[in-house]
Each structure stands twice: as C-alpha cells, then as structure tokens.
Structure 1
Amino acid sequence: MGTIGIVIAIALIVILAMKGYSIVFIAPVAAIVVIVTNGMDFFPSLIGTETSFMTGLSGFLISFFAVFLLGAILAQYIEKSGAAQSIAQKVLSITGTQKPFSVLVAILVISAILTFGGISLFVVLFVIIPLAKPLFKELNIAWNLVVIPIFIGIGTFTMTMMPGTPSIQNVVPMKYLGTTLMAAPLMGFVASLVAIIVGIVYMRYAMKKSIAAGDTFAPYEDAKEDSLALKEKTPSFFISILPILVLIIIIFAGSAMKVDNIVLIGLAAGIIVAAILFHPFIPSHKTALSLGANGSITPIFFTAATVAFGVVITMAPGFKLISDFILGIPGNPLISLTIASASLGAMTGSSSGGLGIAMEAFAQTYLDMGVNPDAMHRISAIASSVLTGLPHAGAILSLFALAGLNHKNSFKYAFIAMTVPIFFALIVALIMGILFY
C-alpha cells in the first residue's frame, strides 16, 4: 500500500501540474498522500523539526537561497540595462539576418551565452522573443520553429553539461557530493559538443522540412505580440558581456583552486561589475535590486517544494521497494543512478526538482558504494533533464505563453529539441563515466 501511495502521489503531481496548479501547492498535498498511505506520523512527517516536509523545504532554502537571489539580481541588471539586447544584436550582426538558418543559429548562440552567464531562462525568453519575431516575419519563417534554437540554447548543454555553468542543476549535486561546478570537465565538454552537434543537425532538418512543406509566418500573424519594446540606448557589446566573463572566469579559477562557495563569489562579483558598468543605462538601481530579490522567491520555492516532497518519499516505508529496485538494476551503478535521475525529473517536470530528490534519496548510498562523485555529479545532472521536456514543464508553458504558441503547433519541436540532444549526450557521458571513472 505504501509503494502504491507513492506512485499515486507522483501521478498527482504530474496531473495537477499539467492542469496549471502551482508546485508549491501540489507538493505538500502529494506529501500528505504519501504520509497517509504509508502510515507515517502525520504532523512529525509534515511539519516536524527533525526530518519532515518542512525541514526539507527549509534546508533547500538555506543551502541555495543566496544562489537564486544573486542570480536573479544579476539577471535584472543585464536585462534592465539593455546588455542582453546588446549581446543579442552583436551575435545577429555576426551570423547575419538574411538566411533563415543563420537566424536560428544566432538565437541558439544568444540563448546559450545568456544562460551560461547565469541569466534566468525567463529573462532570456523576454530578450529573444522581441528580437526574433520581426526577423522570422521578414524572412517568412514559420514562427513555431523559434522554440528549437531557444530550447537547445537554454535547456541542454548550458543547463547541465558545461563545466562551470552556474545553473541550479549544476549547483545542487555539490551539496550532496562535495563536488565543484567543474565536476568531470572532460565528460561535460564532450557531452556538450555532442548535444550541440545533434541539436544543430535536428534544427537544420526541421527548418528544411518546414520550408519544403510550405510553412510560413502567416498563420502566426495574430500570435501574441511581445509587450517588451527594444531599448534605444544600450551598453556596448564588450561592456555588456564583461559581467558574464567575470562570473565565468571566477568560477573556473575558483573551482580549480577548490574555493568554497565560488558560485556566490562569482555572482556577487558579476553584480558589482554590472552595477558599475551599467549605471548610465539603469533607470534605477533600487528597481533592479528589488525586482531581482522578489524574482528569486518563486523559482526557489518551486524547486524547494519538490525537494521537500522527495524528503517525505525517502522517509516512507513504501520507498524501500522502489529504492531496492533502482539499486538492484544490473550493471554499473551509474546506470541505475541515470535511470533514477531521469525518472524523477520526468515525474516532477523539473530537472532541478527531480535531481534534488535523486540526490536526497541516493547520493550517500552511491558514495558508500565507492562511485566517483564527479561522475555522479555530471551524469545525474544530465539525466535529470533528459525527460523534462514534457507538456507540464514550466519552461515549455512559459515560452508558449510568451510567444503565442501552443502544444498543438509547437510541442513536438520543444520535446525533440531538448530530449534528443540530451539523450545522445547522456549516452556518451555514461560510457565515459563507466570507462574512465
């Protein structure tokens, strides 16, 4: 009955998330289902001060609030100053805007640069949509193709693979494994290269197929217009990219020297540089700081609520059957860890949430088995995202709402653009992990 209760709770999360309910509401409801069906002590398991839903929630907030806060503030500076727009326009000037494929490549590159610089994917979407739409219209490209380069840029190699990326998916395993953002660098670089190649091949294939089918921009003429106007005065490209470069250099150097909390140091330095350089372009520092601080609350609570649900699952007697099944998968332990991370990411519709649950449930067990922590870090991060391109995923819902698209005309592109490159990259990373780690 306990195991069935866990399955019911996970199904509840998927169904309610697809119906638009917030995970902050869904997670405690699902936790209650697990607690009741497993015969656990109700209040101690839900709001107890030792191991409970609330301690899982608060523990995640304590560990990662500073990362979310500083990342959101830096994102606000880069958005409000027009720096993101300046970077995007520079990339477009290099790739050109006369050929459809060049425009798609430019959007991919812009998305990747901004997310690797620690910028929230939501900020990236707000920057790219108003830049891309007139180009798609001018070249008469079907607007739904825009989801391919965006999701390859924000949802594949810069999210989980590239060593040094300050994404939350790359930060979470550090708490459980004692690793750094640069964990398994060779594996990460090779996986990134595979994801990029596969993604670009698919992007070209989808574009050619769309053009051959006679698809044009016309059906999307009435698509939702973006409310953000492009800024007239923006910092130069060099000034715009400098805070991101500072962040990346500090993370790479600090990780190599094993400096504690290097992601916080890098983000803080990036903010200071941005505040100084972007001063002439920022209407109000108070606004940037306040919006960044407020904007960090929702995403961290979304992820923390999912992790807290995972804590309840790991406490439940019924979880032992699931745990024994995963740990009993034959072959190298990295294979079973891959399956666990991928499954939990798919169930929650969140790679960071699924990864948090996987680490909470299995990290110490695998470490005790002698599995290399760097390999665990990189492979579990990649695996957590391989099946998150599902209909209830927050990134997909956000992009569709902002771009005026829907599941019927665009979901297949979103799903394939994320799933296929990550899948091939994961296979390569897993082979490297088994052979070399």
Structure 2
Amino acid sequence: MAKEGDTFSDSEEKLPKGMLALCPLIITVLLINIKRNGENIVHLETGLFIGTLLTILLMHHFIQKEELIADIGVAMKSSVISITNTCAVVGFGGVVKAALAFPAVVNAMTNIPGPATSGVALGTMVIAGICGSASGGLGIAAPLLGPVFLAKGVGVGAIARIMAISSSSLDSLPHNGYIVTVTNGVCNETHKDAYGAVFKLTVIVPLLATVLAVILFTLFPNLP
C-alpha cells in the first residue's frame, strides 16, 4: 500500500522473461507434490532447496554476487523470524487447550442456540482466533467439536467444509504468526499501516463465506 510521499517509476533494469522466472516455482511445486504410496518422494525442505539452486542457475545473468550474498543473509534472518513466530503460535494454542477455562469455552460453543451448523462455525472460529492459526485451530476444534456435532445430526461433509472455511476468518487477527512475520519481518511495515487491508481480505471475506456456508448447509444438509 502506497504511503504519503512514495513515488514510483518504471525500472530500466534487465529482467528475465516471465516463463523463465516461473520455471523454478513450477518445478518446486511439482517436486513437493509427487507422491508414491501416499508418501512424498521429495521432502519439502529438499524441494525448496532444489528450487532455490535452480533459481540461481537460471537467473545468474541477472544476479549480482554481492546482492545474492546479501539476499541469502536476509532470507536466513526471515526464516528464523518465521520459525519463531510459528512455534510461538503453536505453543500458545497448546497452552490454551490445557487451560482450565477451555472446556467451558468448548461447552459454550456446542450449546449455542440456533442451527447446529452455526455452532460448528462459531466454535471453530473462536478456537482458531485464540490460537492465531487456522491449522492449529482445526487441529484442536476437529477432535473436540466434530463428535459433538455429529451426535447432533450434522453431516460429516458439512462439518468438514464449515470448519475449513470458518477457521480461515479469525485466525488472521493481529497476533497471527504469519501476519506478524510478513508485516514486520518481510515487509518492514507496522500493523497500524498494513493491517487494515489485511483485515478486510483475510477476516471479512472469510466471515462472509462462513455465513454463506452455514446458510447453505442448514437449508441443504446433504450438499456434496
């Protein structure tokens, strides 16, 4: 997002063609998604490393040695920040789950008046928001809330889809590890300047999608 005083101009820098620039990314995605008997043939770390080496080989005409060394240093710093933030969020979720008040929160979520599907959505949203992570919230919400709402007659497909959609709403509140990493560590921005647009895109839009999912699965519980 442009700030007051920012100016932009076309760069005369020689850049690689679009398809050449996409090749390392495409190959990396393919490598880390090739499976045999349900297991990845190439581990994620290995695939990313191969993609990085391929990028350097293909782009060496466009990369200055000094810039490459500086970029590697920045990448290492950013990786430490990312790992630290992710570990902090996962650890926070574990502490929340172990808190004495957590069962009371779960009980309140499973006894919300109205359609059971709204309870699935709200419960998952709250847990994901507390954890600051969609995946972390799902990891806690699915085994806790899933059996409860299955017993109330909500279909497995409806539960899975509503949880998947709703977990992506309140998970990206300001304390989310990824938001902190990208805003502060990668973009060198502040939450004050950057979070407004992020909130609209990653909280408001998924919330609207969650409401739509709840309405559809309430009216048509057997949707595929």
**TM-score, normalization by structure 2:** 0.69
Q: Is the 8 A contact 1:108 1:150 kept in 2?
A: yes
Q: Is the 8 A contact 1:165 1:181 kept in 2?
A: no
More helix by share: 1
Matching residue within 31, 36, 53 for 1:16: 31
Aligned CA distance change for structure 1 residues 70 and 182 (closer, same or farther; 3 Å): farther
Matching residue within 93, 113, 134 for 1:121: 134
Matching residue within 209, 214, 219 for 1:203: 214
* Structure 2 residue ranges without an equivalent (≥5): 1-14, 35-39
Give the superposition deviation at 1:187.
7.8
Aligned CA distance change for structure 1 residues 127 and 117 (closer, same or farther; 3 Å): closer
Aligned CA distance change for structure 1 residues 146 and 178 (closer, same or farther; 3 Å): same
Cα root mean square deviation, aligned: 3.5
User: In the aligned structure 2, how far is the partner of 1:113 from the partner of 1:74?
Assistant: 14
Give the superposition deviation at 1:7.
1.6
Matching residue within 131, 150, 153 for 1:137: 150
- SS of match in other structure, 2:176: coil
Supply the AA of the counterpart residue of 1:188: F
User: In the aligned structure 1, how far is the partner of 2:154 from the partner of 2:215?
Assistant: 13
Supply the AA of the counterpart residue of 2:70: E
Asked if 1:7 is matched to 2:22, the reply is: yes
User: In the aligned structure 2, how far is the partner of 1:49 from the partner of 1:139?
Assistant: 58
Supply the AA of the counterpart residue of 1:142: G
Aligned CA distance change for structure 1 residues 6 and 74 (closer, same or farther; 3 Å): same
User: In the aligned structure 1, how far is the partner of 2:209 from the partner of 2:106?
Assistant: 23
* Structure 1 residue ranges without an equivalent (≥5): 214-408, 410-437
Aligned CA distance change for structure 1 residues 68 and 130 (closer, same or farther; 3 Å): closer
Count of residues in Structure 1 that have an aligned counterpart in Structure 2: 200
Matching residue within 31, 55, 70 for 2:52: 31
Aligned CA distance change for structure 1 residues 137 and 202 (closer, same or farther; 3 Å): closer
Q: Is the 8 A contact 2:134 2:167 kept in 1?
A: yes
Give the superposition deviation at 1:29.
0.6
**TM-score, normalization by structure 1:** 0.39
Q: Which digits, 9 at most, give the CA deviation of each residue in 1:281-308, with x for residues without a partner?
A: xxxxxxxxxxxxxxxxxxxxxxxxxxxx
Matching residue within 142, 151, 158 for 2:170: 158
Give the superposition deviation at 1:60.
0.8
% of aligned pairs identical? Answer: 8
What is the correspondence of 1:46-125 to structure 2 with a 5 Å cutoff? Answer: 49-52=69-72, 55-81=73-99, 83-93=101-111, 95-96=112-113, 102-125=115-138
Structure-1 residue corresponding to 2:178: 168
User: In the aligned structure 2, how far is the partner of 1:113 from the partner of 1:146?
Assistant: 15
User: In the aligned structure 2, how far is the partner of 1:89 from the partner of 1:74?
Assistant: 20
- SS of match in other structure, 2:220: helix
Give the superposition deviation at 1:35.
1.7
Q: Is the 8 A contact 2:183 2:194 kept in 1?
A: no
Give the superposition deviation at 1:112.
2.0
Give the superposition deviation at 1:71.
2.4
Aligned CA distance change for structure 1 residues 146 and 59 (closer, same or farther; 3 Å): same
Q: Is the 8 A contact 2:124 2:137 kept in 1?
A: yes
Give the superposition deviation at 1:88.
1.8
Q: Which digits, 9 at most, give the CA deviation of each residue in 1:104-154, with x for residues without a partner?
A: 222222222223234443442232222333334323332022222222322
Aligned CA distance change for structure 1 residues 11 and 116 (closer, same or farther; 3 Å): same
Supply the AA of the counterpart residue of 1:173: T
Q: Is the 8 A contact 1:35 1:41 kept in 2?
A: no
Q: Is the 8 A contact 1:107 1:132 kept in 2?
A: yes
User: In the aligned structure 1, how far is the partner of 2:145 from the partner of 2:80?
Assistant: 38
Q: Which digits, 9 at most, give the CA deviation of each residue in 1:333-371, with x for residues without a partner?
A: xxxxxxxxxxxxxxxxxxxxxxxxxxxxxxxxxxxxxxx
Supply the AA of the counterpart residue of 2:24: A
Asked if 1:178 is matched to 2:178, the reply is: no
User: In the aligned structure 2, how far is the partner of 1:134 from the partner of 1:9?
Assistant: 43
Q: Is the 8 A contact 2:117 2:154 kept in 1?
A: no
- SS of match in other structure, 2:71: coil
Give the superposition deviation at 1:190.
9.0
- SS of match in other structure, 1:140: coil
Aligned CA distance change for structure 1 residues 184 and 166 (closer, same or farther; 3 Å): closer
Give the superposition deviation at 1:81.
4.0
Aligned CA distance change for structure 1 residues 106 and 78 (closer, same or farther; 3 Å): same
